[in-house]
RNA sequence: GCGAUCGUAGCUCAGUUGGUUAGAGCGCCGGUUUGUGGUACCGGAGGUCGCGGGUUCGAACCCCGUCGAUCGCCCCA
């Protein structure tokens, strides 16, 4: 180890992913790509950074989110830029600036890194990764249903169990506002008994009291006014169409009438896939319980200066999904070649290429003590170990198959292989 | 921003009430078992005990500070 030079540390909240974790991460992305095509969502690639105003205007200038939790910086021209903290705002901006209205209703999907300046904890990082699906320009509840069906199928194909769709409606703008006022009035009555945090929320973000983690708050939450009392006929019909569509599509769901969204642009459907209490999934995720979440954001486009445009979408953290995916094993059969004599090195190259071209994952062990290379190859846990050595001046190839079927398939390739190492 | 817990070898961790040259397993390197084998045995390299100060004859161990990590709170687009 060099003692004078110190390796630079990683940035707080970033991760270097390797091994089974990295395989699980890739599996999530691959599965998402496959499923998204089944629902005919089109792939989009979005910039990792935007003008700060793209996020500030869509999220709301004054919120903590914008003031404290974004990675913003000035570029050399003095422009304030921000590393994207979410996909939705950028996609909305692109929809407006590229004339994507012509494709409406536009179904798009993407994935990649996002950045939020937060204190890291289990399942929360400053650079994290999400998969994302949006339907822009669709006012119909059928869009919500299709989007949720896709999410449901994705989770199933990832093999994730013990997770349930929690569903709520926030109503249209009027319903939502009426509900909000009623909640404020209700909680004000008992303000003195609320937790300190919730007393603050009463002014800033009363809906958030509903998902307070404080025990004493929860006593009052149970008796709080429900959105259902304030839904307009239209909003109610919209929600009914979503739920009946989900039932028809075979998507299990549960009503969660205290599920809310903090930002004002959300309307109607709001949803989260949440681990069931006491499930393995819940234990694996710690305090970060939501696996996939989203909703309808009919009010967003206008805050970006566009025409009123209905839209609905969801996103899910790849890291969190990866934590719920078990060990992913490769389907590809694996051959390890031990080069027990350096004279056989070129033969190993020749043979390994034949095997790889034949569809076998192949690794060649050529380093370290020659007599230990076989053991090294075995420790890689291959399906077949091939040994290349010299015996009495003659090249020798032997095979040990830990899987008979793979063994004979590999033998078909090795039997046609002509060694060339007799030279010396 | 706040709180709790934790920093000993590349990795996972031991290290007894403070007491000589700081240990194990795995991994790595080398050597044996004159071998067709998922071994076993022997040896080796690798540590400013996160960093700085203090208490003490003596600190990995006790105290203070600091940095970092983890988990939680706030926030959650």
Say whether both A279 and A299 belong to one domain: yes
Q: Is the pLDDT at A6 greater than 80, yes or no?
A: no
Closest nt to residue A117, judged CA to C1':
B75
Q: State the CATH number of the domain containing residue A92.
A: 3.30.930.10
**Strand B positions closer than 7 A to protein CB:** 1-3, 10, 27-33, 35-39, 46-48, 68-77
* Residue A191 falls inside a structural domain: no
Same domain, A89 and A155: yes
| Bridge partners for A367 per DSSP | none
Domain-embedded: residue A8? no
Residue A222 within any structural domain of the chain: no
Closest CA to A304 of A92, A135, A108, A105: A92
Query: How many structural domains compose chain A?
Result: 2
Whether the CB of A85 is less than 7 Å away from nucleic strand B comes out as yes
Residue A198 inside a domain? The answer is no
- Local confidence band at A42 (pLDDT 50, 70, 90 cut-offs): very high
- For residues A237 and A368, membership in a common domain is answered with no
Range from A108-112, A336-340, A348-352, A393-397 that averages highest in pLDDT: A108-112
Report percent pLDDT > 90 for chain A: 75
CATH no. for residue A409? 3.40.50.800
At residue A245, does pLDDT exceed 60? yes
d(CA A29, CA A113) in angstroms, rounded, equals 12
Regarding whether A166 and A64 lie in a shared domain, the answer is: yes
Per-residue DSSP letters for A41-65? PEE----SEEEHHHHHHHH-TTSHH
Q: Is the CB of A371 under 7 A from strand B?
A: yes
Residue A35 located in a structural domain: yes
Q: How far apart, in whole angstroms, are the C-alpha atoms of residue A301 and residue A135? A: 13
**pTM for this entry:** 0.93
Q: Is the CB of A390 under 7 A from strand B?
A: no
Is there a single domain that holds both residue A302 and residue A369?
Answer: no
Q: Over 90: is that where the pLDDT of A226 sits?
A: yes
The answer to whether residue A367 scores a pLDDT higher than 50 is: yes
- Please say which residue of A324, A353, A387 terminates a domain: A324
- Shared-domain flag, residues A134 and A250: yes
Q: How far is the CA of A235 from the C1' of B21 (A)?
A: 79
What is the reported pLDDT for A170?
96
pLDDT at A333 over 70: yes
pLDDT in tens, A7-26: 788 899 999 998 889 999 99
Picking from A294, A324, A354, the residue at the C-terminal end of a domain is A324
In this structure, the answer to whether residues A89 and A236 fall within a common structural domain is yes
**Nearest amino-acid residue to B76, taking CA and C1':** A65
Final residue belonging to a domain, choices A297, A324, A351: A324
Residues A271, A399 within the same domain: no
Q: CB–CB of A220/A158 below 8 Å? A: no
A250 phi, psi to nearest 5 deg: 75, 25
A378 touches strand B (CB under 7 A): yes
Same domain as A252, residue A135:
yes
Residue A3 has pLDDT above 60, yes or no: no
Does residue A267 register a pLDDT over 80? yes
What tokens does A80 get?
Answer: 């304030």
- A11: phi then psi, degrees, rounded to nearest 5: -75, 140
For residue A296, is pLDDT > 50? yes
**Closest nucleotide to A1: CA versus each C1':** B46
**Within-domain flag for A192:** no
pLDDT at residue number A37: 98
- Cα separation, A301 vs A1, whole angstroms: 55
The alpha carbon of A7 is separated from its chain's Cα centroid by a whole number of angstroms, namely: 30
Residue A179, pLDDT score: 95
Residues 117-146 of chain A in contact with strand B via CB under 7 angstroms: 118-123
DSSP A100: G
Q: Specify whether A55 is located in the same domain as A119.
A: yes
Which ipTM score applies to this complex? Answer: 0.89
**Which one, of A62, A59, A80, lies nearest residue A71 by Cα?**
A80
Whether residue A157 is found in the same domain as residue A302: yes
Q: What span, in angstroms and rounded, lies between the C-alpha atoms of A310 and A289?
A: 28
What pLDDT band is residue A2 in, cutting at 50, 70 and 90? Answer: very low
- Do A311 and A378 share a domain, yes or no? no
Asked whether the predicted pLDDT for residue A392 surpasses 90, the reply is no
Q: What is the pLDDT of residues A89-148, one digit of tens each?
A: 999 999 999 999 999 999 999 999 999 999 999 999 999 999 999 999 999 999 999 999
Tokens for A165?
Answer: 């769709």
Segment A267-293 mean pLDDT:
93
A151-201: per-residue pLDDT in tens? 999 999 999 999 999 999 999 999 999 999 999 999 999 999 999 999 999
| A59 CB contact with strand B at below 7 Å | yes
Q: What angle do CA A364, A417, A366 make, to 5 degrees?
A: 15
Q: Which nucleotide is nearest to A401 (CA to C1')?
A: B38
What percent of chain A has pLDDT above 70? 97
Domain that holds residue A104: 20-172+232-324
Give the integer Cα–Cα distance in Å for A94 and A62. 24
Query: What was the pLDDT predicted at A361?
Result: 92
Nucleotide in closest CA–C1' contact with A397: B36
Angle at which helices A173-189 and A196-204 cross, to 10°: 140
Distance set, CA A23 to CA A51, A125, A347 (Å):
34, 19, 31
Among chain A residues 60-79, those with CB within 7 Å of any atom of strand B? 63-66, 69-70
Q: Is the CB of A423 under 7 A from strand B?
A: no
The answer to whether residue A87 sits within a structural domain is yes
Going by pLDDT thresholds of 50, 70 and 90, the confidence category of residue A421 is low
């Amino acid at each position: 180890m060099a003692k004078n030079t110190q390796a630079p540390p990683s940035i707080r909240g970033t991760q270097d992913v390797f091994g089974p974790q990295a395989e699980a991460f890739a599996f999530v992305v691959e599965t998402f790509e496959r499923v998204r095509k089944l629902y005919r969502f089109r792939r989009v690639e979005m910039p990792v950074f935007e003008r700060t105003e793209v996020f500030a205007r869509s999220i709301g200038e004054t919120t903590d989110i914008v003031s404290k939790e974004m990675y913003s910086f000035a570029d050399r021209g003095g422009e304030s830029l921000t590393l994207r903290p979410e996909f939705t705002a950028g996609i909305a901006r692109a929809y407006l600036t590229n004339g994507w209205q012509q494709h409406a209703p536009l179904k798009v999907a993407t994935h990649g890194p996002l950045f939020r300046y937060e204190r890291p904890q289990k399942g929360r990082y400053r650079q994290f990764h999400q998969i994302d699906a949006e339907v822009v320009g669709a006012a119909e509840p059928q869009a919500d249903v299709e989007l949720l069906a896709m999410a449901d199928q994705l989770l199933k194909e990832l093999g994730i169990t013990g997770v349930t769709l929690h569903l709520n409606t926030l109503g249209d703008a009027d319903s939502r506002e009426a509900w909000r006022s009623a909640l404020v009035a209700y909680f004000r009555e008992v303000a003195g008994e609320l937790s300190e945090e919730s007393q603050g929320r009463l002014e800033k973000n009363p809906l958030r009291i509903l998902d307070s983690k404080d025990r004493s708050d929860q006593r009052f939450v149970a008796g709080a006014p429900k959105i259902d009392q304030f839904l307009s006929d239209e909003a109610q019909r919209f929600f009914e169409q979503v739920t009946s569509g989900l039932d028809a599509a075979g998507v299990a769901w549960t009503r969660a009438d205290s599920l809310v969204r903090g930002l004002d642009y959300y309307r109607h459907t709001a949803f989260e896939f949440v681990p069931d209490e006491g499930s393995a999934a819940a234990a694996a995720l710690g305090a970060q319980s939501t696996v996939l979440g989203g909703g309808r954001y009919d009010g967003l486009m206008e805050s970006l200066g566009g025409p009123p445009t209905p839209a609905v979408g969801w996103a899910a953290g790849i890291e969190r999904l990866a934590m719920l995916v078990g060990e992913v094993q490769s389907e590809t059969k694996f051959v390890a070649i031990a080069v027990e004599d350096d004279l056989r090195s070129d033969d190993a190259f020749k043979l390994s290429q034949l095997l790889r071209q034949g569809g076998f994952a192949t690794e060649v062990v050529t380093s370290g003590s020659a007599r230990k290379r076989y053991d090294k190859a075995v420790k890689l846990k291959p399906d077949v170990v091939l040994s290349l050595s010299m015996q009495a001046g003659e090249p020798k190839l032997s095979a040990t198959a830990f899987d008979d079927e793979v063994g004979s398939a590999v033998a078909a390739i090795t039997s046609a292989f002509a060694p060339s190492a007799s030279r010396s």
